[in-house]
């Protein structure tokens, strides 16, 4: 997201007559910061003789001719003295900036459409075409390039809730010494229902960010994001066509772009372009149904400092979650027999254990005794992946891997000094890579199968 610094007048929605001067700064690393001179509230809450507590849900502004809405404004600094209100400043940390519109209430921050471009999106669109023609004339040694400066809009997916498009636009620019032709590609999402900004961020936009992160195996971040409302539009003077006006959105995010390694890419646009409806239908399904598993895997990708134990435990937990949510729950002993056995064991515990907490804990453990262990669950998952040709590991290798991942997890989570002293970090690294491959194959299976 582009950095900026703009100066203007600022006020809160219920006090439009009380305007103050100030400057709004933004960069992707630090987010937004608004510094105003004077008080937005006539009677702020006093924290001490020198400081004023003045958090605001919304601060509106007019800067360089554009309406601005600052959302979730938290005061971080004040040099205000109550007897010199107009001479001192207050600084707010701004969580979200909406450029191009005034929202008068926080419940009114509603959108019907979003367009969003992500870092490294070009690496996902490996063979997405640029529509231009290039010809070389041998006799004249001239190169002729022609192109149509028009948008290419491809529908990727449609559901009762929203429609997802991939938009490609060629941008041509020139100067005295150069000419450039750039392809700008982004996602456009049309919602069938008007949604609050929070619902967009926690829903479809979060799902799309996870989708690209998962596919490229690197953290990705929005580099531009625009929202539109059906009631915020203009009509072209010449052709009388209505056009929705964009509202630019800015918030704190990472501005770095990590290198994408082709060998780590789980899937690209090229892999799914022949059947995007099935693929995205499966993605939005597993993003909901397997959310804890997906989020654990994404957390490993986005972890800035790679801590081996964290990575391994996340992956082991992800495999267990996958088994619990996609396999029919099987047991060691048939349920009627186990019910009989557990009733007998619970009766013994009730009669022999006087401490109420200990008694309840043991009874709860008995209830789970018939559920399969992590070791068994890993082996079930590996058998499934082998059956559908997602793994080519030999049976003895699968059995050993199930044993080892379970054993390493127990060593890390159920501390026993003698076992912990034997922890081999070279082995742990190898099992982490293998567990990672299992999770990736599970996700691939769910994405590619109807």
Pair (130, 233) in one structural domain:
yes
Pair (218, 248) in one structural domain:
yes
Residues in the chain: 450
Cα–Cα distances in angstroms (integers) from residue 341 to residues 276, 336, 348, 357, 418, in the given order: 51, 9, 11, 22, 34
Count the domains in the chain. Answer: 3
Residue 380 lies in a domain: yes
Residue 338 lies in a domain: no
Domain finish residue from 68, 85, 107: 107
- Helix 276-289 / helix 204-216 crossing angle, nearest 10 deg: 110
Distance in angstroms (rounded) separating the CA atoms of residues 118 and 120: 6
Residue 357 lies in a domain: no
Pair (156, 137) in one structural domain:
yes
CB-CB contact of 92 with 74 (8 Å): yes
Pair (74, 200) in one structural domain:
no
Which residue stretches of 237-334 are H helix?
A: 269-272, 276-289, 291-302, 308-326
Strand partners, 117: 224
Token pair of 251 as six digits: 């918030």
- State the pLDDT at residue 333: 74
Pair (82, 225) in one structural domain:
no
421: phi then psi, degrees, rounded to nearest 5: -65, -20
Pair (276, 313) in one structural domain:
no
Domain finish residue from 75, 107, 139: 107
**DSSP H or E stretch at residue 249:** strand 247-251
Residue 340 lies in a domain: no
Distance in angstroms (rounded) separating the CA atoms of residues 317 and 311: 10
CB-CB contact of 35 with 21 (8 Å): no
Distance in angstroms (rounded) separating the CA atoms of residues 97 and 248: 8
Pair (316, 279) in one structural domain:
no
Pair (29, 101) in one structural domain:
yes
- State the pLDDT at residue 241: 83
- The CB-side HSE value for 433 (13 A sphere, CA atoms) comes to 6
Pair (145, 43) in one structural domain:
no
- For the CA atoms of the chain, what is the radius of gyration? 29
CA dihedral sign, ordered 97, 102, 103, 105: positive
- State the pLDDT at residue 49: 46
The neighbour count for residue 411, using CB atoms within 10 Å, is: 17
Matching residue, tokens 């996870």 = 210
CA angle 211, 213, 219 (to 5 degrees): 155
Residue 358 lies in a domain: no
CB-CB contact of 250 with 197 (8 Å): no
Pair (39, 87) in one structural domain:
yes
Distance in angstroms (rounded) separating the CA atoms of residues 402 and 393: 12
Distance in angstroms (rounded) separating the CA atoms of residues 32 and 28: 8
Question: Does the reported pTM lie above 0.75?
Answer: yes
- State the pLDDT at residue 173: 75
The neighbour count for residue 397, using CB atoms within 10 Å, is: 13
Instruction: Residue 265: name the closest of 442, 125, 165 by CA.
Output: 125
Residue 346 lies in a domain: no
Domain finish residue from 54, 88, 107: 107
Pair (98, 179) in one structural domain:
no
Distant-in-sequence, close-in-space partners of 20: CB < 8 Å, separation ≥ 6: 9, 10, 11, 36, 37, 38, 39, 40
Pair (88, 213) in one structural domain:
no
Cα–Cα distances in angstroms (integers) from residue 258 to residues 125, 182, 221, 302, in the given order: 16, 21, 10, 11
Distance in angstroms (rounded) separating the CA atoms of residues 228 and 112: 6
Instruction: Specify the CATH number for the domain of residue 89.
Output: 2.40.10
Residue 412 lies in a domain: yes
CB-CB contact of 93 with 79 (8 Å): no
306 burial (CB, 10 Å; 0-12 / 13-18 / 19+) is exposed
Residue 293 lies in a domain: no
In the three-class reduction of DSSP (H, G, I as helix; E, B as strand; rest coil), residue 193 is classed as strand
Token pair of 368 as six digits: 């789970």
Range of the domain at 72: 4-107
pLDDT digit of tens for each residue in the chain (450 aa)? 789 999 999 999 988 888 999 999 999 989 999 999 888 876 555 444 455 567 889 999 999 999 999 999 999 887 755 555 556 788 999 999 999 999 999 999 999 999 999 988 888 887 655 656 667 677 777 777 776 655 678 899 999 999 999 988 777 777 777 777 777 889 999 999 999 999 999 999 999 999 999 999 999 999 999 999 999 998 876 777 888 999 999 999 876 778 888 889 999 998 888 889 999 999 999 999 999 999 999 999 998 778 999 999 999 999 999 999 998 877 777 778 878 888 888 888 888 888 888 888 888 888 777 777 888 899 999 999 998 888 888 888 888 888 999 989 988 888 777 777 777 889 999 999 999 999 999 999 999 887
């Amino acid at each position: 997201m582009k950095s900026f610094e703009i100066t203007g007048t600022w006020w809160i929605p219920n006090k439009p007559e009380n305007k103050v001067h100030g400057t709004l700064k933004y960069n992707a690393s630090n987010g937004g910061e608004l510094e105003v001179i004077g008080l937005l509230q006539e009677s702020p809450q006093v924290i001490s003789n020198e400081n004023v507590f003045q958090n605001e849900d919304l601060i509106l502004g007019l800067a360089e001719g554009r309406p601005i809405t600052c959302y979730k404004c938290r005061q971080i600094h004040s040099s205000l003295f109550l007897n010199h209100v107009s001479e001192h400043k207050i600084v707010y940390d701004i969580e979200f900036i909406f450029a191009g519109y005034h929202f008068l209430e926080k419940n009114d921050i509603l959108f019907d459409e979003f367009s969003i471009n992500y870092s490294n999106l070009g690496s996902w669109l490996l063979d997405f075409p640029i529509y231009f023609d290039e010809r070389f004339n041998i006799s004249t040694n001239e190169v002729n390039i022609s192109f149509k400066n028009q948008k290419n809009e491809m529908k990727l997916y449609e559901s009762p809730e929203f429609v997802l498009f991939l938009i490609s636009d060629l941008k041509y620019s020139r100067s005295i010494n150069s000419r450039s032709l750039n392809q700008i590609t982004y996602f456009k999402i049309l919602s069938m229902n008007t949604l609050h900004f929070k619902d967009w961020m926690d829903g479809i936009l979060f799902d799309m960010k996870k989708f690209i992160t998962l596919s490229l195996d690197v953290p990705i971040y929005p580099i531009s994001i625009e929202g539109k409302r059906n009631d915020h539009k203009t009509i072209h003077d010449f052709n009388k066509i209505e056009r929705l006006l964009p509202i630019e959105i800015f918030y704190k995010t990472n501005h770095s772009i990590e290198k994408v390694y082709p060998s780590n890419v789980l899937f690209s646009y090229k892999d799914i372009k022949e059947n995007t409806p099935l693929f995205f239908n499966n993605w939005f399904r597993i993003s909901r149904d397997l959310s804890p598993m997906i989020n654990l895997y994404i957390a490993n990708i986005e972890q800035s400092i790679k801590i081996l134990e964290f990575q391994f435990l996340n992956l082991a937990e992800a495999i267990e979650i996958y088994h619990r949510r996609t396999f029919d729950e099987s047991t060691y002993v048939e349920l009627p027999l186990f019910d009989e056995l557990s009733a007998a064991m619970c009766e013994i515990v009730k009669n022999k254990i006087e401490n109420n907490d200990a008694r309840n804990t043991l009874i709860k453990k008995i209830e789970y005794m018939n559920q399969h262990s992590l070791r068994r669950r890993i082996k079930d998952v590996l058998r499934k992946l082998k059956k559908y040709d997602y793994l080519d590991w030999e049976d003895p290798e699968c059995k050993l891997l199930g044993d080892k991942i379970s054993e390493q997890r127990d060593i890390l989570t159920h501390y026993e000094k003698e076992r912990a002293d034997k922890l081999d970090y070279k082995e742990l690294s190898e099992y982490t890579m293998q567990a990672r491959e299992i999770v990736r194959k599970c996700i691939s299976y769910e994405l590619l199968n109807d």
